[in-house]
Amino acid sequence: MGNFSANIVNQRFRAAYAELEKTNRIKGKSDIAKHLGTYNHVINSILKGERNITVDQLNKLFETFHINANFLFGITDELFLPGHAGDGMNTRPMSERSNSGRRNITLVPNRALAGYALEHRQDEFMEELPKFSVPNLEGDLVAFEISGDSMMPTVTNGDIVVCEPIERGTALRDNHVYVVVTDVVVAKRIQQSRDADSMVLISDNSEVYKPYSVDLNEVRQILKVKCRLTSHAIS
């Protein structure tokens, strides 16, 4: 069994749970489980360090209880978003809340990756995705939840990479990590081909995953990876 207790997000979730219960925003594990779309035994397992909280559960935690995403990632000690520390539970949709404190990073959870590949240029699709912020990361950014081990040890399963979309024609840097959107969304190192009609995508876990080429006319978007959020730290 993995050491889920060492996961900073799980540690911070336990602190958030304790504060929510202390301030009567929730009435125990069954109550918060209902709001997070899960079950009492799942919450109990997370609190006991026997499993990780999921990205979908985190999104619902942020939206329902005004929890500061940066607190959960271990970046700040401010548990609640500005203006909500003294409030009772508020379950209004995010679109109806105060816009103080701009959330400039759009999070694409694993379940939304297929939709992102098809609809990332559609404002309606993007507006439905959760938003958060990280200190010193400015601009309109996109974060992706990484699934799988193809980029280990640089990026591991469950990490979130924060990216900056780049304009078509912008110079790319060989052997740097980008998110490349075709009919799928992948995080890879790239090498540009001499014929300029394709690029090679390279996995860091090269013993298992071999490089492969994609035609540039199949590439819908490229995003430069600026940082990653891991279960232990930001780097």
CA 110 to chain CA mean position, Å = 9
What's the one-letter identity of residue 92?
R
What tens digit of pLDDT does each residue of 46-76 get? 998 888 888 888 888 988 998 888 888 777 7
CA–CA gap between residue 179 and residue 197 (Å, rounded): 18
| β pairing state of 221-229 and 177-181 | antiparallel
Domain extents for the chain?
Answer: 4-96, 105-229
Tell me phi and psi for residue 126, to 5 degrees. -65, -35
The domain defined by 105-229 folds into Umud Fragment, subunit A (2.10.109)
Residue 187: what are its φ and ψ, rounded to 5°? -105, 120
- CATH code at 4-96: 1.10.260
Task: At 149, list the tokens.
Answer: 């081990």
Q: What is the mean pLDDT of residues 187-192?
A: 94
| pLDDT tens-digit series, residues 206-230 | 889 999 999 999 999 999 998 888 7
User: Band of the pLDDT at 5, cuts 50, 70, 90?
Assistant: low
Longest dimension (CA), the chain: 63
Q: Rounded distance, CA 113 to CA 233, Å?
A: 24
Instruction: Give yes or no on whether 4-96 and 105-229 have one common fold.
Output: no
Neighbours of 18 (CB within 10 A): 11
Query: Tens digit of pLDDT for each residue in 113-149?
Result: 999 999 999 999 999 898 888 777 889 999 999 988 9
Q: In angstroms, rounded to a whole number, what is the distance separating the alpha carbons of residues 117 and 181?
A: 6
pLDDT 10s digits, 83-116: 776 544 333 333 333 333 568 999 998 889 999 9
